Amino acid sequence: MLKMAGNKSYTIVEYFGGDCGYRCGYCKNDVGNFSHGMWSHTMTVQDYQDLIDRGWRRSGKYVYKPKLNKTCCPQYTIRCHALKFQPSKSHKKILKKISKFISKGELPKGQDDGEPMDSVCEDACPREPSKACHSEEKCASIKDIQKELPECPAITEAQKEVADAAPTSSETSRKDQGSVQDERTTATAPKPGMGADPGRPPCRKAKDLRKERRLQKEQIRQNTDGVSSIVSPTPPSPAPSSQPKLLEDFINESLPDNSSHCLEFRRFLCDSPLEAEHSPDGPEVGYGSFHQQYWLDGRIVAVGVLDILPTCVSSVYLYYHPDFASLSLGSYSALREIAFTRQLQKQSPKLSYYYLGFYIHSCPKMRYKGQYRPSDLLCPETYAWVPIEQCLPHLENTRYARFNQDPDAGDARVLKDVGRALVLYRRSVMPYAAYSRKRKGSSDETEVQQYASLVGQDCAERILLYRA
């Protein structure tokens, strides 16, 4: 990391353009995927925060921005409001499945409902000039990772993870206003008869019966004078709806002392272009990139990577052992990641979002990210965040869409003066205007103009663009 007077750190990048198409890992089009790319030698967490808020995303040290109006499968940046998140029915099922496995040792049979990783072993991410796809780094087996990971003590108590995993599209989310019920009703064929007996009271719903039994228990519990309570057999008046259980309540449900398995989490700093930083008003673990390890009975079963940035936790990817695919570790890790974001927000108030990477509506298997709500998609033209509910109708009609419907809205950080963009030339930092005068007839103005437009005026004046 280059540091100047006053101990100021700089991001240093090399820009590669993006005129050639390459293979898409989602629709398998051989030349349909287009994106701009740059190699990041070093990067500050604030610069990366601003870049992902303009549609960029990193894969290792390669940072790329899809050409949404040209690429075959447009990839829109998506973020979840972590503080407002409530687990859906499918999310609760996954959390209960993990809890049941840990407490009773019962590994679900068969494969999971389909855990689409973001193009593992696919050419979905762009290629750098060497033509080596960065997504190959996701293809290592968990055994290989175990050899590479350091054996150090945990930095903090766990919760990292992430990855993209999905409930099936047929599972719809709903708000649960009470605790999850274990009862299951079975449908049976009705017996032949003459209909309802007018001499008997009408049947009551099982839900009402459960409410009545719960009210009876509460009244008995509240009776402190030792006299039995007399409860009217008539249906009780509707009780006020209880608050829904929080995500943390499901994750932290107590387990028996004799649980069959022990699941632990450990977090380590990992190699990435992001410079590790600490701030007085930031989280205790600091900012930067972290490995999160899942240890099951002393054995690593999954490893995730996340970036902790000034206003968000950004999901990168997850490795997990194929023997445990039926546990839905991708979805489970995303839920724990949201809980981790909420924990960090208590230490750093402005850190309140969870970024899931890209939402790809044209690829049905990648729509699951839209189920982590409330969430927003990034408008590709104004870079304003728009609730996903307002975006989906547009994406049903066309692959590329401008989400901000204000015709007068524009890019708040639009490039105004390329001459003020900073460059690194012969180990010296200078504005591009000064660099052009030194070079006397430099032919790279079109390239620098394109780069600065993509990163925006603010980033162009902070990030150093390397010039040979």
Confidence of residue 268 (pLDDT cuts 50, 70, 90): confident
Tokens 């989490």 belong to residue = 265
Alpha-carbon distance values, 461 to 1, 12, 413, 430, 443 (Å): 17, 12, 11, 10, 21
Please tell me which residue, 358 or 180, carries the higher pLDDT value. 358
Mean per-residue pLDDT, 53-66: 96
pLDDT > 70 in the chain, percent: 70
β-sheet bridge partners, residue 61: none
pLDDT value at 264 more than 60 = yes
Omega cis (within 30) before 256: no
What per-residue confidence (pLDDT) applies to 212? 64
pLDDT value at 454 more than 80 = yes
Helix (H, G, I), strand (E, B) or coil at 53: coil
Confidence of residue 244 (pLDDT cuts 50, 70, 90): confident
pLDDT tens per residue across span 298-316: 999 999 999 999 999 999 9
Residues 312/353, Cβ–Cβ less than 8 Å: yes
Please tell me which residue, 455 or 165, carries the higher pLDDT value. 455
C-alpha 139/C-alpha 121 separation (Å) is 6
What per-residue confidence (pLDDT) applies to 149? 41
Burial 289-313 (b: 16+ CB within 10 A, else e): bbbbbbbbeeebbbbbbbbbbbbbb
pLDDT > 90 in the chain, percent: 60
What per-residue confidence (pLDDT) applies to 307? 98
Tokens 């998609």 belong to residue = 377
Residues 377/78, Cβ–Cβ less than 8 Å: yes
Residue 326 DSSP symbol: G
**Lowest mean pLDDT segment, chosen from 3-7, 64-68, 176-180:** 176-180
What per-residue confidence (pLDDT) applies to 18? 83
- As a whole number, the mean pLDDT across the chain is 79
Instruction: Answer positive or negative: Cα dihedral of 245, 246, 247, 249.
Output: negative
C-alpha 312/C-alpha 354 separation (Å) is 5
Task: Count the Cβ atoms, other than its own, within 10 Å of residue 393.
Answer: 9
Q: Pairing between strand 464-467 and 422-425?
A: parallel
pLDDT value at 132 more than 50 = no
C-alpha 347/C-alpha 378 separation (Å) is 26
DSSP H helices in 10-141:
45-52, 89-104
Mean per-residue pLDDT, 317-335: 93
What per-residue confidence (pLDDT) applies to 253? 81
C-alpha 63/C-alpha 128 separation (Å) is 9
β-sheet bridge partners, residue 467: 425
Residues 16/128, Cβ–Cβ less than 8 Å: yes
Mean per-residue pLDDT, 218-227: 42
Amino acid at 84: K
Please tell me which residue, 106 or 290, carries the higher pLDDT value. 290
pLDDT tens per residue across span 405-434: 999 999 999 999 999 999 999 999 999 999
pLDDT value at 186 more than 50 = no
Helix then strand then coil, in percent of the chain rounded to 5, is 30, 20, 50
Residue 333 DSSP symbol: H
C-alpha 245/C-alpha 87 separation (Å) is 9
Please tell me which residue, 158 or 242, carries the higher pLDDT value. 242
What per-residue confidence (pLDDT) applies to 112? 56
Please tell me which residue, 403 or 106, carries the higher pLDDT value. 403
pLDDT value at 332 more than 60 = yes
Residues 78/358, Cβ–Cβ less than 8 Å: yes
User: Distance of alpha carbon 412 from its chain centroid, rounded?
Assistant: 25
Residues 93/170, Cβ–Cβ less than 8 Å: no
pLDDT value at 404 more than 70 = yes
Confidence of residue 266 (pLDDT cuts 50, 70, 90): confident
What per-residue confidence (pLDDT) applies to 3? 60
pLDDT value at 21 more than 70 = yes
- What is the rounded (10 degree) CA torsion for 165, 167, 168, 172? -140
The number of helix segments (H) and strand segments (E) in the chain equals 9, 17
C-alpha 405/C-alpha 271 separation (Å) is 40
C-alpha 66/C-alpha 78 separation (Å) is 14
What per-residue confidence (pLDDT) applies to 19? 82
pLDDT tens per residue across span 65-111: 999 999 999 999 999 999 999 999 999 999 999 999 999 888 887 65
Copy the structure tokens of residue 122. 């696919």
C-alpha 354/C-alpha 337 separation (Å) is 8
pLDDT tens per residue across span 42-52: 999 999 999 99
What per-residue confidence (pLDDT) applies to 111? 55
Please tell me which residue, 381 or 254, carries the higher pLDDT value. 381
Mean per-residue pLDDT, 156-160: 29
What per-residue confidence (pLDDT) applies to 158? 28
CA atoms within 13 A on the CB side of 325: 10
Q: What is the reported pTM?
A: 0.75
Torsion angles phi and psi, residue 127, rounded to 5 = -100, 140
Confidence of residue 321 (pLDDT cuts 50, 70, 90): very high
Burial class (CB in 10 A: 0-12, 13-18, 19+), 427: exposed
Helix (H, G, I), strand (E, B) or coil at 22: strand
